[in-house]
Amino acid sequence: MTHTPVLVHAVLKLFDPRPGSRLLDATLGTGGHTRAFLAAAPQSEIVALDADHAALEQARQELEPSAGRVTYIHANFAHLKDSVIGGGILPPLFTHILFDLGLGSHQLADSERGYSFHTSGPLRMRYGLPALVPAQLPLLNWLERRLGHQPEVADLIARLTAEQLTELIRHYGEERYARSIAQAIKQPPPLRDAAALAERIVLSVPPRARHTRLHPATRTFLALRLAVNRELEALQCALPQAVSLLEPQGKVAVISFHSLEDRLVKHYFRQAQVAGLVTILTKKPLRPARREVTANPRARSAKLRAAVKT
C-alpha cells in the first residue's frame, strides 16, 4: 500500500529548499516528504529518523537512487538531539526540520500492530522504539514500574481499573463517553483483539453516536495509542530540541492530525516566539485543499504549523 504524503506542496512552499539545504525529517515513514524535498533541491542533504524500523528499511529501499544524500537513524524523536549527535551528524544543524505526526498506510494495514477497527490484530498499538520519557498521567508511570516496561494496550486493559481507563480515555482521547466505554472494556469476557475492542466500544455508546461520520471507536483507539507510545510527551520533548538544531533562519514545520497535537504545537510556538526563539510563519494552521482530501481522505484532519528560528 502506497502512503501519500500529506500537505507536501504546502510544506515545500513554506520551506522553499535550495541547493545545499539540510533537512531533518523527524518522522520519515516511507519517505514521501523526503522524496519531494530531494527532488525540489537536487543538492540537498537529509537526515531521516523514524522509530519504526520496518518503515525505515522500506524508505531506504525506495530512496535507494538518492542513497548518498540521505542518512538514516533508527530512533524516537523524543531523543532527537542525542540521536543526531550520536549518529555522527556534523555539524548538527539544519535549514529545515519536519514532523509528520500521522500514521502511515503501512502501519494501519499491518494487522499485527492492532491499529485497525476491522482486523483481529493483537492489542498492541506499539509502532517502534519507545519514547523514554515520563507519561503525563501518573497512572501510566505507576503501571510501567509495576510491569518493568512501558505497557501495551493489552496491559492497559488488563491492569487498569474502569475508573483509571476512564481517566486515560478522557485525557488522551477527549471522549465524552469515556466512562461507559471503560466500563464496557472491563466487562467479561476478556478482549483478545482490536476488532473485538472496537465492537465493544460501539455497543457501549448511545445509539445516536453509532452512526456518525467518525467511527465510535476512533477517540478511544487514539487515546490508547497515544498512551502506549507516549506520543504527546515525545512531541513536547522534541519541539525545543528541534529549534536548538536549526540554523539561524531555519524553519520547523509540524503536520498534526488531532486537536491534542495541534494544541501542543500551537502553544509551544507561541511560547518560543515570546521568548524570542522563533517567529511563527502560520498565523492559522494550513489545511489541505478539497482536491487533496478527495484524492487522499486521510488528509482531511491534517493541520500544518511552521516557525522560523530568529
Each residue's pLDDT, cut to its tens digit, for the chain (310 residues) gives 456 799 999 999 999 999 999 999 999 998 999 999 999 998 999 999 999 999 999 999 999 999 899 999 999 999 999 999 999 999 999 999 999 999 865 555 555 555 678 777 899 999 889 999 999 999 999 999 999 999 999 999 999 999 999 999 999 999 999 999 999 999 999 998 999 999 999 999 999 999 888 899 999 999 999 999 999 999 999 999 999 999 999 999 999 999 999 999 999 999 999 999 999 999 999 999 999 999 999 899 999 999 999 9
Crossing angle for the helix pair 162-173 and 138-147, nearest 10 degrees?
120
CATH number for the domain running over 8-106+232-309: 3.40.50.150
Whether the Cβ atoms of residue 91 and residue 24 lie closer than 8 Å to each other: no
Q: Where in the chain is the domain with CATH 3.40.50.150?
A: 8-106+232-309
The class level of CATH for 134-224 reads mainly alpha
* Torsion angle (degrees, nearest 10) of CA 234, 240, 85, 59: 50
Q: In what order do the strands lie in the sheet with 70-74?
A: 70-74, 45-50, 22-25, 94-100, 246-256, 303-309, 278-280
Residue 157 host element (H or E)? helix 153-159
Q: Where in the chain is the domain with CATH 1.10.150.170?
A: 134-224
**Cell 493483537 -> residue:** 122
Q: Rounded to whole angstroms, how far apart are CA atoms 239 and 168?
A: 24
Residue type, 207: P
Whether the Cβ atoms of residue 188 and residue 157 lie closer than 8 Å to each other: no
Nearest Cα residue to 8 out of 17, 43, 52, 265: 17
